Amino acid sequence: MFKELDPILHSQLRLAVISLLISVKEAEFTFIREKTGATAGNLSVQLGKLKDAGYIEVTKQFKDNYPLTLCKISKKGVEAFEAYVNALQSYMKPGSATQVGEE
């Protein structure tokens, strides 16, 4: 049977953010915005959703008198990403899942 996909990670932008953070562990808002091509407003909203889900930690500080937003993946975020990838594999190998109409 096909596994349910995490609705938080199923959004293209949120999945891109988590994928980036898996590889770099921590990144500045501007880096994530540049890599994803997202607008600042949309990225801010999506980071909020990931933070609310406990998948990332967001810290705000100053660097050379400029605001700096840092995003870091949490343990829960790593686990959610691994579960999401595992669930996707059930869609890539449909022969191992029960086909529609079979019982």
Cα distances (angstroms) measured from residue 18 to each of 28, 34, 76: 13, 15, 11
What single letter denotes the amino acid at residue 55?
A: Y
The answer to whether position 6 is within a domain reads no
Q: What is the CATH number of the domain that holds 36?
A: 1.10.10.10
Question: Is residue 4 a contact partner of residue 87, using CB atoms and an 8 Å limit?
Answer: yes
The answer to whether position 98 is within a domain reads no
Domain that holds residue 32: 12-92
The answer to whether position 2 is within a domain reads no
- CA-based angle 36:39:45, to the nearest 5? 95
Provide the domain count of the chain: 1
Rounded mean pLDDT, 23-43: 97
User: Where does the pLDDT of residue 39 fall: very low under 50, low under 70, confident under 90, or very high at 90 and above?
Assistant: very high
The answer to whether position 17 is within a domain reads yes
How far apart CA 11 and CA 96 sit, in angstroms, is 26
| pLDDT 10s digits, 57-94 | 999 999 898 999 999 999 999 999 999 999 998 888 77
Q: Report the predicted TM-score, pTM, of the whole model to 2 decimal places.
A: 0.84
Ordered DSSP codes for 26-93:
EEEHHHHHHHHT--HHHHHHHHHHHHHTTSEEEEEEEETTEEEEEEEE-HHHHHHHHHHHHHHHHHH-
Residue 52 has pLDDT above 70, yes or no: yes
